[in-house]
Structure 1
Amino acid sequence: MAVALSTVAEAMLMDPALTAQIKPYEPWLLISGVFVLFILRRLTCRALRHRVDRIGYRLFGERGLLIWFWMNAPGVILHELCHACVVLLFRPFGFRITKITLFRIKPLVQERPYGMLQRGMPQALQLGEVQYVRPPGRLVSHIGDGLSAVAPLIGGIGAIIFLYWVATGYNIWEVRLQLIRPGWPWWTLLFAPYLILTITAELWPSSQDWRGARWLLTGLLLLAGIALATLWYTHVLVFNEALLQGVASVALHIDFALLALLILDLAIFIVADLLNRLL
């Protein structure tokens, strides 16, 4: 059955008529692939966490539910440090860190005053937090809140780009069939993929973070919409084939990066699922 499907797929790819039919839709497929791969990776990461939690619970009981946290400790640390770095950048505007927690695990506080950025777990545990104070009611305070809230996403993407280069010798926007650049040390693959997975598992801002960033993100979206409408109205920005191909080229590199991460997630998920069945 698998051989038959492979033969059919190869025949479809080699069919010039079919290739010509797909060609006009190729840019849209690449762009939509970004969203599809992102959703698939979020679902895979959630399923992987569920498997790890089940393995931990069967081996160590309630304490085993913390295995996922300790596996992703580097990502949690980076997450909190990104929050703290932005708060330090806004120190001239009256921002001041009052508390940083990286490793202490305690019950998650449901009430969230401004200035507390937390990383939690479904088991209502707080894995880390950055608390700070800042002058209330100022525009710069809302900007600082928003940037600090989304800082783990920005810092995590930067870390992934760097670690991908460390692991393979290629920049993440270089689409290559070779896994490693010729002559690049192979031992980087012993630790870099693990760090990439822990960072991607923890880079997404929490619900508390998104609430802290809502004013900044709303303002940026409005400004971006006004700017795009103005550029389109003045014919500076033209929605033509060239623009579509440019966006599709960027989407191709994002698709490649997300696909590589998804493959890593699936490999670990298969191992975790096998262990879960054996236990």
Structure 2
Amino acid sequence: MPNAQIMTEIAPYQSWLTIAGVFVLFGLLRLTRKGLRRRVDESGYRLFRSKGPLIWFWLNAPGVIIHELSHAFVVLLFWPFGFRITSITLFRIKPIPQRNAYGQVMRGGPASLQLGEVQYVRPQRALMSFVGDGISGVAPLLGGTAAFIFLYWVATGYNLWDIPLDSVHSSFKILRPGWPWWTLLFAPYLILTVTSELWPSRQDWRGARWFVAMLTVLLICAGVAIWYYNLTSAVLTIATFAASRLDFALLILVALDLVFLVIAEAIVQLLRS
């Protein structure tokens, strides 16, 4: 059978294809999310002119809350090391000028908008200050992921790592048997907003750059140690399992994006007519 022959030929590379799928689906998700934002921005411009771009930010208000509270939570965790929150701001539009690679403001360039902000103080030139800055910078990625996992359970009744396939009927079950259907009326929107604000901003990455650099070096050293002690097979098995769950999560997000894209495109076409 041709299908069986293809699967046999692919089998030796299945683990690497599963891992590569994470990067492919992540790239696809970035494209669909950008396309969705363009359509929302166009609809906003046609309805509210110069204030149109604010529509996207207000739609993502729940995600902004999770984003900023993730920063604040990490700062509170580092309270014993001298970290102190000075202010938490939500839902205040603040223009942020674009900067070049040297941190200089680019005159005449497009400015991005910031809806929330957490400001804090900490000891200068201390190791834990660099660690705290780094973890605080990437905190939205952690907090947003946790919120996504929780909202997926609220929506479907399944855990994200339990792929709900019916092996008998070879079908995918959206809802756990007996789970209320009305959770699908609001949870997909919340998942969209949380994941839209999940990625750390440029300012967040700038604050976390030393921590990320140190973590990258440690990962490279770990990779060398895995290769040296011949642990590649065991680590690849674990990585493949994790990648398969990430693939599933990203597929869900891409599917949601496509649904919202169809709705946004219909609204744009209606406003154009």
Give the TM bin, normalised by the shorter chain: 0.7 to 0.9
**Residue 242 of structure 2 aligns with which residue?**
250
The answer to whether structure 1 residue 200 and structure 2 residue 188 are counterparts is: no
1:55 is matched with which residue: 27, 40, 43?
A: 43
Distance (Å, rounded) in 1 between the aligned partners of 2:157 and 2:224: 40
Distance (Å, rounded) in 2 between the aligned partners of 1:47 and 1:183: 36
- Partner of 1:98, secondary structure, is strand
The answer to whether structure 1 residue 216 and structure 2 residue 183 are counterparts is: no
- Count of residue pairs the alignment pairs up: 254
Paired residue type of 1:276: V
Distance (Å, rounded) in 2 between the aligned partners of 1:72 and 1:107: 17
**Residue 69 of structure 1 aligns with which residue?**
57
1:238 is matched with which residue: 231, 234, 242?
A: 231
**Residue 265 of structure 1 aligns with which residue?**
257
Q: Pairwise CA RMSD of aligned residues?
A: 1.8
- The normalised TM-score by structure 2 is 0.88
2:268 is matched with which residue: 258, 271, 276?
A: 276
How has the CA–CA distance of structure 1 residues 105 and 273 changed in structure 2, closer, same or farther, with 3 Å as cutoff? same
How has the CA–CA distance of structure 1 residues 34 and 224 changed in structure 2, closer, same or farther, with 3 Å as cutoff? same
Distance (Å, rounded) in 1 between the aligned partners of 2:7 and 2:225: 38
**Residue 114 of structure 1 aligns with which residue?**
none
Distance (Å, rounded) in 2 between the aligned partners of 1:21 and 1:110: 49
How has the CA–CA distance of structure 1 residues 109 and 95 changed in structure 2, closer, same or farther, with 3 Å as cutoff? farther
How has the CA–CA distance of structure 1 residues 21 and 228 changed in structure 2, closer, same or farther, with 3 Å as cutoff? closer
- Residue 245 (structure 1) shift: 3.6
- Partner of 2:213, secondary structure, is helix
**Residue 178 of structure 2 aligns with which residue?**
183
- Residue 253 (structure 1) shift: 1.3
**Residue 168 of structure 2 aligns with which residue?**
none
Sequence identity (%): 60
How has the CA–CA distance of structure 1 residues 88 and 110 changed in structure 2, closer, same or farther, with 3 Å as cutoff? farther
**Residue 152 of structure 2 aligns with which residue?**
164
- Residue 225 (structure 1) shift: 2.1
Which runs of no fewer than 5 residues in structure 1 stay unpaired? 1-10, 112-121
Distance (Å, rounded) in 2 between the aligned partners of 1:19 and 1:231: 29
- On the 8 A contact 1:109/1:126 being kept in 2, the answer is no
Distance (Å, rounded) in 2 between the aligned partners of 1:29 and 1:227: 22
- Residue 246 (structure 1) shift: 3.4
How has the CA–CA distance of structure 1 residues 19 and 224 changed in structure 2, closer, same or farther, with 3 Å as cutoff? closer
**Residue 167 of structure 2 aligns with which residue?**
none
Distance (Å, rounded) in 1 between the aligned partners of 2:84 and 2:111: 30
Distance (Å, rounded) in 2 between the aligned partners of 1:261 and 1:83: 24
Paired residue type of 1:78: I
- Partner of 1:197, secondary structure, is helix
- Residue 126 (structure 1) shift: 2.2
Paired residue type of 1:64: G
- On the 8 A contact 2:226/2:232 being kept in 1, the answer is no
- On the 8 A contact 2:97/2:111 being kept in 1, the answer is no
- Partner of 1:175, secondary structure, is coil
Structural mapping, 1:28-39, within 5 Å: 28-39=16-27
**Residue 90 of structure 2 aligns with which residue?**
102
- On the 8 A contact 1:98/1:131 being kept in 2, the answer is yes
Which runs of no fewer than 5 residues in structure 2 stay unpaired? 100-109, 165-171
Distance (Å, rounded) in 1 between the aligned partners of 2:192 and 2:15: 28
Distance (Å, rounded) in 2 between the aligned partners of 1:54 and 1:149: 31
- Residue 109 (structure 1) shift: 5.8
- Partner of 2:116, secondary structure, is strand
- Partner of 2:120, secondary structure, is strand
How has the CA–CA distance of structure 1 residues 59 and 88 changed in structure 2, closer, same or farther, with 3 Å as cutoff? same
- Residue 278 (structure 1) shift: 2.1
